[in-house]
Structure 1
Amino acid sequence: MNLLLQPFPIIRADVRAYLLINALVYGALLLGMGLAMIFPDLHAARTSSFVDGGQGALVDTVIGSPWTFGVTIFLVNVFATALLLIVLPSLVIPFAGLMVFVIKTIDIGIILAPVNRTSALILIPHSPTILIEFQAYVLVMFGAYLLGRSWLRPATVGATTRRQAYVRGLSRLGRLWPTALALFVIGAVYEAVEIYFLVPLVLGT
C-alpha cells in the first residue's frame, strides 16, 4: 500500500506541473475528437487504418477471451505505450516522450470521437476507461517531466551535477510507476468488462 501512496508527496511538491500535464493530455484527447468531428473523413481514414492495421488484427486475435483481451490491453498500455512512447524517448532527450504521447493522444481522440450515434453511445461506458488509463499515462508523463527538469536543472533536486540529477529524476519516475501500474490493471479489467458487457448493453445488442 505504501508503494501506491508514493506519488502523492511528489505531486504535492509540484502540483502545478501535475495539473498542467493533466490539461495537456486530456486537452490533446479533446483536440483529436474536435478535429474528427470537424473533418469526418479524417476519422473515417484513421478508423479504417486502425481496423485494417496491426492493432485491429491484434484485437481480432484476442477478442474471443475476456481474460486474454484484458491482459493484452494491459501489456499494450504498459510496454508499447507507456514505456516505448513516453519513458524511453525521455531517457535520451528531455521531455521527448511528452511530445510523442501528445501526438499519440490526438490520434486516439480522432479514433474515439463521437461522430455518430453509435460512437457516442460507446463513449459513455468507455469514458471511465479513458479517465483511468489516461491518469496512469499522466503519472508516467509527470515522471518523465520531472526527469527532464532534473536533468536540465540539477538544482531543482538539490544535485550538483547533471549525472546526479539524472539519477534522482529516475528515482522519482520509478516511485510513480507502482501506482501507474495499478491504474493500468484497473483500466484493463474495466475495459474488458466494458467491451463484453457494457457496450452490448448500451447498444442493445
Structure 2
Amino acid sequence: MKTLRNLRTTLRENWRTYILLSVATYGALVVMMTVTSLMPGMREEGVEGLTAFTDLPGLSAVVDAYASGNVIAAALLTFTANLLFAAVLTTTLPSLIIPFFAVVATVGRAGFIGMWLAPGSSGEALALIPHAPIVIIEFQAYILAALGAVILWRKTLGHRRHGYFSACAGYRTGIQDNARLYPVIIAILVLAGFLEAIEVIYLRPLLH
C-alpha cells in the first residue's frame, strides 16, 4: 500500500528525529503527570485547565456525545476535534510559517495533557490504565505531524544539502512530504477516537 510505503520511507530516512520527538513527547507527558500528582496545587490547575478546554466553543458537542452514550457520534466528534484542533490548526498550519513550531506545540501539548491526566487518587489511577494506551496511540499522530514540520524546514533551510536549487523548491517538497503523512495521521486519530469512545462510555463506568 502506497501510504504505508511512504510512512516506512519517511521513518527510515528520519528515524533519529522520530525517536527524539517520541522521547521528548512521551517524556513530557510522564514527567508532568508525576509532578502534578505530587503537587496538589498543580493538580488543581490541571483540573481547571481541562474544564476550560472542554468549555471551548465547539467542544461542548463532544462532551454531549459522550454524555448521551452514543459511541459513533462520540468517536467521530473526538476524531474531528483531534484532527482539526490538535493536528491541523495548532501543529501543521503554524509550522508552515514558524520553523519547527510543531515541536514546541507537540511537547507542550503533552505537558498540558499530563497535568490533566494526573491521578489524584488510587481510583483515578486505576481508571487511567485503560486510557493510557489510547493516549500513546493518539500522540503518535501528533508526533508524525511534528515530524512532517521538521522535514519541511530541513528541506527549506538546508535545500542545497538536500539537492534543491532554491529554498522555495525545498519548501514545496516539504509540503508534499507533510501531505503524504496525513493519511496515516488521520487513520491513527480515527482509531484513537473509537477506542476512546468505547473506553469512556463502556469501560470507565465499570472501574468506578
Q: Say whether the fold is shared (TM-score over 0.5).
A: yes
Note the alpha carbon deviations across 1:37-63, whole angstroms, 9 max, x for none: 232221122213422551574443222
Bigger mean CA offset, 150-159 vs 73-82: 150-159
Distance 1:40 1:176, change over 3 A: same
Match of 2:112 among 107, 113, 125: 107
Distance 1:155 1:38, change over 3 A: farther
Note the alpha carbon deviations across 1:60-116, whole angstroms, 9 max, x for none: 322212221111110111001101111011100110122122222201000101231
Partner amino acid, structure 1, of 2:183: P
Match of 1:184 among 162, 166, 189: 189
Note the alpha carbon deviations across 1:3-40, whole angstroms, 9 max, x for none: 23321111101211110111111111112212212322
Q: What is the distance in 2 between the residues matched to 1:180 and 1:134?
A: 10
2:42 matched to which residue of 1? 42
Listed as ranges, the gaps of 5+ residues in structure 1 are: none
**Structure 1 length normalisation: TM-score?**
0.92
Bigger mean CA offset, 26-35 vs 105-114: 26-35
Partner amino acid, structure 2, of 1:25: T
1:26 matched to which residue of 2? 26
Q: What is the distance in 2 between the residues matched to 1:38 and 1:193?
A: 30
Displacement over 4 Å in runs of 4+ = none
* 2:119 matches 1:117: no
1:89 matched to which residue of 2? 94
Bigger mean CA offset, 62-71 vs 77-86: 62-71
Distance 1:131 1:158, change over 3 A: same
Bigger mean CA offset, 50-59 vs 72-81: 50-59
- Is the Cα contact below 8 Å between 1:97 and 1:144 reproduced in 2? yes
- Is the Cα contact below 8 Å between 2:159 and 2:170 reproduced in 1? yes
1:60 matched to which residue of 2? 63
Q: Which has the higher helix share?
A: 1
1:80 matched to which residue of 2? 85
2:200 matched to which residue of 1? 195
Shift of 1:2: 2.2
Distance 1:181 1:156, change over 3 A: farther
Q: What is the distance in 1 between the residues matched to 2:43 and 2:61?
A: 20
Note the alpha carbon deviations across 1:118-161, whole angstroms, 9 max, x for none: 22112111012111111111111111111121121113432121
- Is the Cα contact below 8 Å between 2:106 and 2:143 reproduced in 1? no
Q: How does 1:1-20 map to 2 (within 5 A)?
A: 1-20=1-20
Distance 1:67 1:167, change over 3 A: same
Q: What is the distance in 1 between the residues matched to 2:196 and 2:63?
A: 15
* 2:131 matches 1:126: yes
Measured on the aligned residues, the alpha-carbon RMSD in Å equals: 1.7
Listed as ranges, the gaps of 5+ residues in structure 2 are: none
Note the alpha carbon deviations across 1:154-179, whole angstroms, 9 max, x for none: 13432121000001111111111111
Match of 2:76 among 68, 71, 75: 71
Q: What is the distance in 2 between the residues matched to 1:6 and 1:155?
A: 23
